[in-house]
Structure 1
Amino acid sequence: MNEPKLLRVRLLTWAMHLVFRFSRGMTLGVRAVVLDAEGRVFLVRHSYVPGWHFPGGGVEIGESLTDALAKELREEGNIELTGPAKLHNVYYNRQTSKRDHVALYVVHHFRQTAPRRADAEIVEAGFFARNALPQGTTKATLRRLAEVLDGAKAERLW
């Protein structure tokens, strides 16, 4: 990634967390490892941060983790839960801020109402085979896949 774009991403992330610092005691997010019947994983590429990630986002005040998860899956993937999602782990994400935590769920029971089209937030999205993940899949995403699919030890840090 070129320097001006990286600087823009870091400034935007910093600004968002500055707002959250005054509106929330800590930040909490949800992400999901969504696996289809063929074992492919759903990933998204955002317009404002580099790399391919699991779908997810912030938990709002007054919102449960599972409600936030369902909302983010609908928004980022046109994915509706048809059964329970399983909580895999909760991580401390100190790369984002000293107050950020991420709850990671594993989702097997869902339906996608339509393929996710690109927009201002999500520039690409889709299901990918484990041996054909897109270039730029983040290290954290790869570590979480190893935990969920290979039984690697779950880490404390995102």
Structure 2
Amino acid sequence: MTRKRRLVLWLLARWGRATRGMTLGVRIAVIDGDGRVLLVRHGYAPGWHLPGGAVDPGETAAEAALRELREETGVIGDEADLRLLGLLYNPAFGGRDHVATFRLTAFRAGPEPAPNREIAERGWFPLDALPADVTAATRRRLDEIAASAPPATRW
């Protein structure tokens, strides 16, 4: 994806968030039996992130987390295993955004979507050997999961 296209997508996302009321997003930390976490690399933003996205009208945050996980990675989560880790304020998006963060350890692999404009790449990484360009917020959430950092209130 070209730099110009990334900028346009980023601007559209910022405009949408600034012109709406409070927004709610979700992120989901999927940890496998070997202690690896599933991360995604977006086509429009640098770094590795936890899978996630916006909560759609009529959808719970838990439903959105599982939907985004399936759409972005093909992984199908077990709702009974889904655990809410926190609801964090994200001041970067117009001062009205919150992110519900979840943890999941019970899942199965479905068909992996082909790379696209939204998700360019997916990968499983050991919690103690994350990629160098994992985002700061993602690293903070994973540190909280590993109990080496207290829970946060801000994204």
**TM above 0.5, one fold?**
yes
2:47 counterpart (48, 51, 55): 51
1:33 counterpart (29, 50, 61): 29
Is 1:127 paired with 2:121? no
Is contact 1:116–1:125 with CA below 8 Å preserved after alignment?
no
| Cα 1:69–1:109 shift into 2, 3 Å | same
Correspondence for 1:69: 65
Amino acid at match of 1:132: A
How far does the alpha carbon of each residue in 1:31-51 deviate from its partner, in whole angstroms, 9 at most, with x for none?
001000111000000001111
TM score, norm. by length of structure 2: 0.88
Residue correspondences, number? 153
Give ranges in structure 2 of 5+ residues lacking alignment.
none
Could you tell me the percent identity over the aligned residues? 41
The 1-side partners of 2:138 and 2:44 are apart by 17
Map 1:1-158 to 2 at 5 A.
5=3, 9=6, 12-22=9-19, 24-82=20-78, 83-158=80-155
- Secondary structure in 2 aligned to 1:102? strand
Amino acid at match of 2:37: V
Amino acid at match of 1:120: R
Task: Using the TM superposition, name which of 28-37 and 111-120 deviates more.
Answer: 111-120
TM score, norm. by length of structure 1: 0.87
